[in-house]
């Protein structure tokens, strides 16, 4: 699926001067962001910081008011359909159809993405998320945690090279939330690039190769994991999200 | 092109499967349409004069307002759980999503018409086998589905979507409703083709114009 990705020196995600306004409100105020291939960038920020808007722009769902985004070296405005083959998004909404079984949901999305050998692919992704026994149950009958696992299976059915995760652990109990990390480990064993937003500082720092803090529509802090410790990060987060208040 | 047709069918099949499981659109539209038929047939009676004057209108009131109820669910089901975003993330042209949803809307309305029309004909003591009426129904429902699918996508992002859809939809489909009523009258009266030709032409023109226009503007309706 990813064989047509351009050469490896190109950044997986490259956003320059991203701005987004909704009426009078400026949700993003010039966001610059680069993520290397296979890297996991975790973005933190308070509610209303612009995290979801940023991920929606990166995943082609929303057009920016200004600025540019290149994914795998391709400008998202030029070839949106080609870009969409390479990306996926998991939010706190699962995009699943409650009245279809997990299998039917995966088959639907697999066909929409022209996934080859779909039956085997469904078996593969469903084993990654540990839902084999519930494959033929209706999505609406699953618990919230299980639905989110099915959503992860849905998201990787077409083997995207870039995965956007928008607070995927919201509404999950601690056990299910921890499982999200395990699933990320399973589905990310290759060279998938991940951009994730979360409020869970500890888990985010654990998962991320690099960390960014978004506040009031701007990236106010960015560092690699090696540059900080979990203990320090809480203080850093508090300091940067209080800036100017 | 083949791939686009496959995707349209995949979306259509998904909608059929969901409706088969819940039957929420078909049942509610069917009940509404049948109630309209029964109420009007009792209100106006079923004499020969009354049938000629009112029957075409009664049939199209039932199918039009029943259709609005069904169309309001077309994109409401995609709005729940942000499924529309899931569809929008798929590597397909937005027009493919429109045609997939349109195929579903048309099929639901046609299924209702297939049940309602024979009952209507029986209630008004009319012959059951009227192929020309089938043509009128297909042309009118195509127009309804073309406009209704577009406006359903537009209305789903508004707060009062159930009110918004009829307000947007009904004024635009007036030419189809009028043409359908006018074309149905000669069919029921057993008049020749010539009496309905103009109205059929208007419906064909309307269908083509709105299918093309809606295909082109759908992208701007669903994208934020």
CATH number at residue A69: 3.40.50.300
Whether residue A221 lies inside any domain: the answer is yes
CB contact under 8 A, A85 and B91: yes
Contacts 24+ apart (CB under 8 A), A17-24: A17/A66, A17/A67, A17/A68, A18/A54, A18/A57, A18/A64, A18/A66, A18/A67, A18/A68, A18/A69, A19/A64, A19/A65, A19/A66, A19/A67, A19/A217, A20/A50, A20/A53, A20/A57, A20/A62, A20/A64, A20/A65, A20/A217, A21/A65
Is residue A31 pLDDT above 80, yes or no? yes
Q: Is residue A113 situated within a structural domain?
A: no
Among the partner-chain residues B14, B21, B83, the one whose CB lies closest to the CB of A95 is B83
| pLDDT per residue rounded down to tens, chain B (224 residues) | 678 999 999 999 999 999 999 888 889 889 999 999 889 888 887 676 777 788 899 999 999 999 999 898 888 899 888 899 999 999 999 999 999 999 999 999 999 999 999 999 998 888 888 899 999 999 999 999 999 999 999 998 888 877 889 999 999 999 999 999 999 999 998 888 888 999 999 999 999 999 999 999 999 998 86
Distance from CA of A239 to the nearest CA of B (A): 34
Structural domain total, chain A: 1
* A100: nearest CB among B10, B17, B91: B17
**What whole-number distance in Å separates Cα of residue A28 and Cα of residue A52?**
10
Domain enclosing residue A25, as ranges: 13-89+155-242
Mutate to test the interface with A, among B24, B86, B219 (most CBs of A within 10 A): B86
Sketch the domain layout of chain B as residue ranges. 2-222
Please, which pLDDT band fits residue A4 given cuts at 50, 70 and 90? Answer: very low
Mean pLDDT of A227-235: 76
A130, pLDDT greater than 80: yes
- What ipTM was estimated for this complex? 0.90
Q: What is the pLDDT of residue A194?
A: 92
CB within 8 Å: A84 and B14: no
pLDDT score of A190: 61
A59 contacts B81? CB cut-off 8 A: no
Structure tokens belonging to residue B5: 């047709």
- Torsions phi, psi for B131 (to 5 deg): -60, -35
Supply the pLDDT for residue B106: 96
For residue range B82-138, list pLDDT tens digits in order: 899 999 999 999 999 999 999 999 999 999 999 999 999 998 888 888 899 999 999
**Whole-angstrom Cα Rg for chain A:** 18
pLDDT at A2 over 50: no
A 10 A CB-CB count for A215 gives 21
What residues of chain A lie within 8 A of the CB of B83, using their CB?
95-97
The sign of the CA dihedral A124, A125, A131, A137 is: negative
A95:B82 CB<8 A: yes
CB atoms within 10 A of CB A61: 21
pLDDT of residue A3 exceeding 70, the answer is no
- A176-190, A195-209, B70-84: lowest mean pLDDT where? A176-190
């Amino acid at each position: 699926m990813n064989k047509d990705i351009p050469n490896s020196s190109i950044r997986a995600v490259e956003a320059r001067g991203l701005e987004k306004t909704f009426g009078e409100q400026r949700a993003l105020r010039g966001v610059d962001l680069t993520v290397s291939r296979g890297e996991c960038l975790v973005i933190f920020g308070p509610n209303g910081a612009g995290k979801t808007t940023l991920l929606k722009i990166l995943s082609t769902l929303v057009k920016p008011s200004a600025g540019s985004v290149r994914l795998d070296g391709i400008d998202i405005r030029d070839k949106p359909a080609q870009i969409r083959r390479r990306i996926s998004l998991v939010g706190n909404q699962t995009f699943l159809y409650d009245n279809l079984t997990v299998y039917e949901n995966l088959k639907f999305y697999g066909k929409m993405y022209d996934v080859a050998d779909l039956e085997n692919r469904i078996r593969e992704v469903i084993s990654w998320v540990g839902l084999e026994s519930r494959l033929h149950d209706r999505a609406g009958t699953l618990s919230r945690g299980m639905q989110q696992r099915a959503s992860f299976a849905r998201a990787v059915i077409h083997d995207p090279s870039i995965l956007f995760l928008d607070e995927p652990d919201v509404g999950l109990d601690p056990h299910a939330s921890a499982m999200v990390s395990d699933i990320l480990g399973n589905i990310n064993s290759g060279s998938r690039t991940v951009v994730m937003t979360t409020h869970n500082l500890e888990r985010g720092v654990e998962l991320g190769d690099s960390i960014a803090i978004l506040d009031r529509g701007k990236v106010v802090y960015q560092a690699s994991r090696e540059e900080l410790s979990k203990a320090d990060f809480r203080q850093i987060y508090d300091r940067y999200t209080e800036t100017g208040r | 092109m083949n791939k686009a047709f496959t995707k349209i069918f995949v979306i259509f099949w998904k909608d059929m499967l969901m409706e088969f499981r819940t039957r929420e659109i078909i049942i509610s539209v069917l009940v509404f349409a049948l109630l309209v038929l029964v109420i009007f047939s009792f209100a106006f009676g079923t004499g020969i004069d009354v049938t000629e004057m009112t029957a075409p209108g009664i049939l199209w009131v039932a199918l039009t307002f029943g259709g609005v109820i069904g169309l309001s669910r077309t994109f409401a089901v995609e709005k729940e759980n942000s499924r529309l975003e899931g569809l929008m993330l798929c590597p397909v042209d937005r027009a493919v999503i429109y045609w997939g949803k349109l195929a579903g809307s048309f099929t639901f309305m046609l299924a209702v018409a297939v049940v309602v029309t024979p009952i209507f004909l029986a209630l008004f003591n009319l012959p059951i086998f009227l192929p020309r009426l089938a043509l009128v129904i297909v042309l009118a429902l195509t127009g309804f589905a073309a406009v209704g699918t577009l406006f359903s996508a537009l209305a789903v992002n508004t707060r009062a979507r159930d009110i918004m859809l009829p307000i947007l939809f009904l004024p635009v489909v007036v030419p189809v409703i009028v043409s359908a009523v006018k074309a149905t009258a000669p069919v029921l009266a057993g008049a020749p083709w010539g009496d309905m030709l103009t109205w059929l032409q208007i419906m064909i023109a309307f269908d083509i114009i709105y299918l093309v226009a809606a295909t082109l503007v759908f992208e701007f309706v669903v994208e934020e």
